Each structure stands twice: as C-alpha cells, then as structure tokens.
C-alpha cells in the first residue's frame, strides 16, 4: 500500500504524461465531466459518473483497422500508451469483461494492442455516484478486486493507493508516493470499502430477473411493450461499458485505396441482423430489446464475467440516458414484477 | 508487450480462374491462390464459409461450394443481391479479390460417416450443401445410402443443373427434384413443395442423418416431416444463414441465444438450437 498527498497528485499526473497519454476527468463546457487528455485547467477530482464509460480506450467509436493501398491491406495496430486515471470500478470491470471477450478464443489484435498498452487507475467510490448505481448487486464495485494497475481510495487530504500489478508498481514509483503504514492503511481501506458498500442499495430484481430469464418465464408481451416504446437511438449500447458489437465499412480515398474502418454498432437497430437476402431473423423491436438484455443477464460466460454477476456491471447509465426509460433497472423491475 | 503479427482480420489475395453463370443472378466463381498452389493448405471443410472482400464494397460471408477433396480451385456460388455481390459480378477471369477464412463449424463428417445420408436443399441452399454432396461422392465408400432432395421455385431456377442431371446415371445416389410451380408444363419430376418428395423415399431414421439447407420456411416443414418420421433431433443438421460480419465471433451480428452462428455454426444439429426461438 502507498499513500499520496492530494496536493502532489497534479505533479504525479504531469510526470506520467512524460511516459504515456494520461486521460483524466475534466470539467468541460456545460459542466459536463469528460475523460480527456490531462489538462490542469479542467482537471477535477469533483466528479461522479462520467456520461461515457472508458471503453473507447480499447474500442474506439470509430477506428481505422486497415490502410488499403493497391490491393494490400495493411493493419493499423495502435501503439498508443494510454493511462486512464480515476475510472470507476464498474468501468474497470467493463474493461476486464470486454478484454476477455475480445481476445479469448479468437484474438482481436486491434483490441488487444490497445488493451495491453493501457494502464488503469481506479478511483474507488465512497458511495453511489447517483441514484442509478447498483454495482454491489452486480459485484463490480464500488471498488475493484482485480484487473487494475493502481486503485486510489480518497481518505481526505490524501489517497491510499493499492498496487494491482507490476505496471502499477512502476507507476507508483513516481515522486510523491510514499509507503503507507500497512496495518493502519489496510484497516482504513477496509473501513472505506465497508462503508461504501453499505451506502449502495442492492437491487434484488436483477437476480430475480436473471432467474426468470433462465426459466424462460418472461412473456413476449413484456418485450413488445418495451419494443413499442423504444425510439431505436442505440444510446443504451453506446453508454454501456460492456457493449462491444461493431460494424465494418470501407472508406475510399481515391486510386482504389482508402481505409477499412470499424465503428460501434447496436443490436437495437433493425439492420443489425438483416441479411443480404432481405430476411431478418430478429423481426421486431421487442425481440431486439430482449436480445440486448438477455446478452447481459442470461447469455454470458464465466470466462467473461470475472468476479461479476453477469455482463451488466451495474453502472446504471442506460437507465440514466434512455429517453424513454428502457434501462436495465426498468427492465429487470418489469421482469421481476411480472405475474408468472 | 504482445505479438500482434497474427491478425485474423487480414484478408489474403486470390484471383478468379473462371466465372460460370448459373441461373439468373447466380454465378459460380472459381478461385485460385495467388501463389498458384492448391487449396490443400487452406484447410476448409464442407459447410464452412469465407469472408469475401472487395475494397470499397466491404466484406460478406459466402459459403464454400466445393469440397476439400477437389483442391484445385475453391468455388463459391453467389447470388447477386447487394453492393458487394453487384461488384463481384463485374469481375471476370484474372480479377483479384480478397478472402478470409475458412470459418465456422462445417458438416460433422465424423458423425455422418457410416450413416445413410438424406440431403435436403432448397434454392440457393444447395450452394453450401454441394460441398458435402461432392465430398460424399468423392469418398463414397465411407458413407451409406445417399439421397438428395432438391427443391426450387421453378424449373428455371435449378442450380448446378448439368451436375445434377449427371446424377441420374449413377446408382450410388438417389436424386429427387421438385419445383414449387411449373407454369409452362415442362417439368418431368415432382411439382410441389420439397416435403412432397418424402413419399418417394424410404428412410430409416435410426441410421440416417438428415442435412438441410434452405430458406427458413423450408426448415419448418422439413423438420416437422423428419420428426414425424422418427428422426432424433441430434440426427438433423442444418446450415443457418446470418449476417456473419466478422466471421470470428466478435462483431455480434450473428448472435442468437447463447450461440454465435459464425463460430458455433453455421451448421447446427436441431437439438442444439431448438430452444432458441429466433434460430429458425
């Protein structure tokens, strides 16, 4: 365990920028908290849950995967070294789960290169960041148990810093970090964790919904009801830390060359499953919403969940941002409340 | 840091040896490797597919129509139905394109060997099934009786017509055709849906495997027929069509239930997918 005085944090961040691109929370226009390249003018520790998860650090919303020239496809593997400072535990779990999915069995090198060149500094939550947090239910917060390089606990004027990897040990060798008195520090962290966990309400409807999905006991009417409300914006998938579905398209730049790019995609779109023949196996919006939630709550593998309950990490963003209230919280409550 | 030199998304260049027009809007493309070698090294199995790339038009999954027992060329039978296939139909002998693969689980040869086989194809469903059909014909003694049922909507839409006609001369394959409609009255075989052909065949469900490939509507009726005949669900194999964008289980487009069509399939036995409502 290390300790770092808060007054020394900016110096540490500045030092790290000499070795990699450091992404931190910043207070931008309209008071929006955005993870962006470290900028002393906007950097803040007074932030809650950023609107977007940090998944674009490994799977950018749009990225060139091949440069194509005279019929040769040259892969564009990212060499960028990026450090994410201050991400939340739910988002850390999201990165872990997505990395496992994207690189196990078949290896997505574009993703893996970014993930392996990523350093993560988790800021443990002292309680819910807003009313939609349910990470204690999904076992993905309020602090991380694995996967992080460093984890910060805000204990007033200083942070207690947990080292999670060799990379983390190197990061914590920067000037400013000091050895923490182990026994006292451990007790302080235990107390922090215990209090934080106690402040985040459990959402028992999650496991109730999971059980009901497992039994096949959810009516088609329930999905159709959500389907008729859905405005098909795809926003729930964009703000989801574990949604990694993508599309691939080619962009010409003349002379037969150009770029092959991939972009985020969403299972909520009708075209997502439509085949060239015109046949669409997932015919209704209700079925598409069912797919999204079953993927999180039913069709996950132990390989991908790590210590989490499922592949929903309980960040609550889909409930925060869905304009028509079809977030995971609303869906699990509807499932759990349905008469069987 | 890791090794990033092996990239499953990197397509390789191949060239077109010949294009063979089939029926309207359908064409068979014979491909060869750029180094001129045979396709032995490609390692494809009947029922697998490749991703075909034409830069600027994207990539699309297309099933392999030729068996590994004929490694001189790799054949794909393509229906002209979109941006990529439109562009593909502009290409001729010597043209270059890019492919990735082979992908997916093909027909389970080890399971099929020693059994009688009933192959049921509808329309373009013959394209993937042909890789198995020719494989069985090339290794005929490894399999029992072979019945092929092939249904199309009209006599004008029979794929691989001359190849199929040649089967009439063989006594090691029973070949049954059907067309849904025969407005000109030229069809000498069965007129009606493909399930009508079952009256012309004697099947023993205990030692026969059924392999189906066709449009979703065909699956529903043929499945009903087979189950009524007493076929067990794990003896019925189907090749499913999905939008398999990446082919390697990542992009999510072909997911159905707990399966990814591209890596768990595209060939499934009915017992594996019966519980997935949107599968068929």
The verdict on A151 and A230 lying in the same domain is: no
The correct CATH number of B109-239 out of 3.40.50.80, 3.40.50.720, 3.30.465.10, 3.40.630.10 is 3.40.50.80
pLDDT for B66: 97
Q: What is the pLDDT of residue A340?
A: 64
Question: Minimal Cα–Cα distance from A256 to chain B, Å?
Answer: 8
One domain, residues A238 and A283 = yes
What pLDDT shows up at residue A107? 96
End residue of a domain, out of A148, A170, A199? A199
Query: Residue B10 and residue A66: Cβ atoms within 8 Å?
Result: yes
Residue A96 phi, psi dihedral angles, 5° rounding: -60, -45
Confidence of residue A2 (pLDDT cuts 50, 70, 90): very high
Whole-angstrom CA distances from A113 to A110, A184, A247 are 6, 39, 19
Residues A106 and A194 in one domain: yes
Which chain B residues are within 8 Å of A68, Cβ to Cβ?
55
A319, A219: one domain: yes
* Domain match, A313 and A244 both: yes
Residue of A nearest to B275 (CA): A216
Q: How many domains does chain A have?
A: 2
| A110 and A237 share one domain | no
Print the domain residue range for A47: 2-199
Specify whether A39 is located in the same domain as A170.
yes
Phi, psi values for residue A48, rounded to 5°? -110, -110
**Distance of residue B123 Cα from the nearest chain A Cα, in angstroms:** 12
Q: What is the ipTM of this complex?
A: 0.93
Angstrom distance (rounded) from CA B107 to CA B120: 13
**Predicted pLDDT of residue A310:** 97
pLDDT reading at A270 higher than 70: yes
| pLDDT tens, residue by residue, A112-169 | 999 999 999 999 999 999 999 999 999 999 999 999 999 999 999 999 999 999 999 9
Q: State how far residue A159 is from chain B, nearest Cα, in angstroms.
A: 30
Domain locations in chain B as residue ranges = 12-103, 109-239
User: Hey, are the CB atoms on B278 and A275 less than 8 Å from each other?
Assistant: no
DSSP states of B47-64 as a string? T-EEEEEETTTEEEEEEB
The answer to whether A116 contacts B1, with C-beta atoms less than 8 Å apart, is yes
- pLDDT the model gives residue A27: 93
Contacts of B215 in chain A (CB under 8 A): 279
User: Out of B85, B216, B249, whose CB is closest to A106?
Assistant: B249
Instruction: Decide which of A167, A199, A231 is a domain's last residue.
Output: A199
- Within this chain, do residues A190 and A102 fall inside the same structural domain, yes or no? yes
Domain match, A116 and A163 both: yes
Return the CATH fold of B12-103: Elongation Factor Tu (Ef-tu); domain 3 (2.40.30)
Kindly state whether residues A195 and A221 are assigned to the same domain: no
Q: Average per-residue pLDDT in chain A?
A: 95
Bond preceding residue A276 cis, omega within 30 of 0: no
A194 and A216 share one domain: no
Question: What is d(CA B120, CA B148) in angstroms, rounded to the nearest whole number?
Answer: 6
Q: Which residues of B touch A110 (CB under 8 A)?
A: 9
Chain B partners within 8 Å of A108 (Cβ): 8-9, 248, 250
Task: Return phi, psi of residue A114, to 5°.
Answer: -70, -40
| B109-239 and B12-103 share a CATH fold | no
Q: Is the pLDDT of residue A42 over 70?
A: yes
Residues of B with CB below 8 A from A116's CB? 1-2
Q: Are residues A32 and A121 in the same domain?
A: yes
Nearest CA in chain B to A247: B251
Phi and psi angles of residue A55, each rounded to the nearest 5 degrees, phi first: -65, -25
- Give the dihedral sign, CA B33/B34/B38/B42: negative
Listed residues A180, A199, A218: the one ending a domain:
A199
* pLDDT, tens digit, 9 for 90 and up, residues A187-235: 999 999 999 999 999 999 999 999 999 999 899 999 999 999 999 999 9
Q: Give the model's pLDDT for residue B1.
A: 61
Q: pLDDT under 70 in chain B at which residues?
A: 1
């Amino acid at each position: 365990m290390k300790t770092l005085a808060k007054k020394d944090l900016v110096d540490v961040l500045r030092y790290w920028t000499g070795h990699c691109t450091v992404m931190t929370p910043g207070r931008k226009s309209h008071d929006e908290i955005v993870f962006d390249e470290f900028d002393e003018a906007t950097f803040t520790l007074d932030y809650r849950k950023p609107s977007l998860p940090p998944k674009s650090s490994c799977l950018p919303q749009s990225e060139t995967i091949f440069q194509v020239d005279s019929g040769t496809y040259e892969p564009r593997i990212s060499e960028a070294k990026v450090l994410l400072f201050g991400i939340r535990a739910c988002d850390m779990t999201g990165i872990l789960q997505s990395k496992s999915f994207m690189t196990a069995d078949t290896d997505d090198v574009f993703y893996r290169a970014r993930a392996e060149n990523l350093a993560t500094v988790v800021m443990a939550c002292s309680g819910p960041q807003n009313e939609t947090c349910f990470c204690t239910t999904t076992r993905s917060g309020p602090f991380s148990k694995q996967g992080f390089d460093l984890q910060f606990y805000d204990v007033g004027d200083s942070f207690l810093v947990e080292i999670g990897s060799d990379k983390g040990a190197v990061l914590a060798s920067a000037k400013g970090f000091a050895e923490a008195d182990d026994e006292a520090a451990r007790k302080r962290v235990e107390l922090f964790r215990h209090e934080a966990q106690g402040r985040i309400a459990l959402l028992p409807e999650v496991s109730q919904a999971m059980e009901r999905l497992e039994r096949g006991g959810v009516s088609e009417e329930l999905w159709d009801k959500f389907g008729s409300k859905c405005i098909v914006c795809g926003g729930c998938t964009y703000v989801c830390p574990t949604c990694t579905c993508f599309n691939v398209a080619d962009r010409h730049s003349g002379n037969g060359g150009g770029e092959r790019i991939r972009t985020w995609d969403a299972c909520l779109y009708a075209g997502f499953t439509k085949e060239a023949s015109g046949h669409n196996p997932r015919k209704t919006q209700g079925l598409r919403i069912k797919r999204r939630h079953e993927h999180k709550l039913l069709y996950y593998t132990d390989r991908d969940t790590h210590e989490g309950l499922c592949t929903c990490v309980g960040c609550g963003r889909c409930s925060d941002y869905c304009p028509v209230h079809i977030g995971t919280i609303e869906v699990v409550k509807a499932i759990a409340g349905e008469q069987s | 840091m890791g090794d990033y030199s092996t990239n499953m998304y990197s397509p390789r260049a191949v060239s077109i040896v010949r294009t063979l027009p089939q029926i309207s809007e359908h064409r068979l493309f014979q491909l060869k490797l750029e180094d001129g070698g045979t396709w032995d090294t490609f390692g494809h199995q009947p029922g697998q597919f490749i991703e075909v790339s034409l830069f600027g038009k994207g990539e699309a999954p297309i099933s392999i129509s030729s068996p590994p027992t004929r490694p001189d060329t790799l054949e794909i039978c393509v229906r002209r139905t979109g941006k990529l296939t439109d562009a593909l139909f502009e290409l001729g002998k010597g043209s270059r394109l890019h492919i990735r693969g082979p992908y997916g689980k093909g027909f389970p040869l080890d399971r099929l060997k020693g059994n009688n086989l009933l192959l049921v194809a509808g329309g373009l469903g013959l394209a993937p099934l042909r890789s198995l059909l020719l494989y069985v014909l090339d290794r005929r003694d490894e399999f029992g009786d072979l019945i092929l049922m092939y249904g199309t909507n009209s006599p004008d839409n029979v794929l691989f017509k001359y190849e199929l006609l040649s089967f009439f001369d063989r006594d090691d394959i029973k070949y049954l055709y059907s067309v849904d409609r025969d407005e000109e009255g030229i069809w000498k075989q069965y007129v009606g849906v493909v399930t009508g052909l079952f009256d012309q065949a004697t099947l023993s469900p205990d030692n026969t495997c059924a392999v189906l490939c066709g449009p979703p509507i065909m699956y529903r009726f043929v499945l009903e027929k087979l189950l009524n005949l007493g076929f067990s669900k794990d003896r019925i194999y189907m090749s499913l069509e999905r939008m398999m964008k990446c082919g390697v289980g990542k992009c999510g487009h072909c997911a159905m239930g707990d399966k990814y069509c591209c890596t768990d399939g595209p060939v499934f036995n009915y017992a594996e997918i019966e519980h997935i409502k949107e599968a068929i």
